[in-house]
Amino acid sequence: MMDNEKSSDTSEPDVPSDSLADVAPCLQVDEPPVHVVLYQPEIPQNTGNIGRTCVAVGAKLWLVRPLGFKIDEHSVRRAGVDYWHMLNLQLVDSIGEVQQALPQRKFWYFSRFARRSLWEAEIDLGDAIVFGRESAGLPEEILDLDSPQAIRIPTTEQVRSLNLSNTAAIAVYEVLRQHGRLG
């Protein structure tokens, strides 16, 4: 368990080799089917829910500091993350660190302002899906709204945006659906 969000330890927690295979035998555990990147997340419950989704499908969760909460044992337990020890987690200080760690992967940037719909994107297994802060989204230096890799989940005009954990779950399962990995 990490001491807090300022920790320089970016090692991944140990994951029992058969834990995900027992739950989801159709998913390959060795290579994450998708990398979920949360840029400076602010709400621990959202991060906890996204972590649960990642554990459910074998995805890797990247958290870009600074975090708006602590991820020490007490804070994690308070957010209801009793499976945190099974999460394939990496803490980093910048989005550039994630890009450097995954040089052969595409990065897909989610924004409610993107022009392209998730349903139009062909996301490859192993690609990274990137989400911004709950309060502000992704900053301009990361998000290019004109890029074909800037995508959104369509909603009616009555809704400003979807909850971050809902958006991440929809995106993760859409990647799996596109590749016949649900079953």
Binding-site members are 132, 153, 161
CB of 142 within 8 A of CB of 112? no
User: Which residues fall in the annotated binding site for S-adenosyl-L-methionine?
Assistant: 132, 153, 161
Helix-helix angle 44-57:164-178, to 10 degrees: 20
CB of 56 within 8 A of CB of 83? no
Q: Which amino acid is it at 81?
A: V
CB of 9 within 8 A of CB of 92? no
Neighbours of 85 (CB within 10 A): 15
Give the end-to-end CA distance of the chain in Å, rounded to a whole number: 32
Beta strand ranges found along 41-149 (DSSP E): 60-64, 88-92, 107-110, 116-117, 128-131
Give the three-state DSSP class for 116: strand
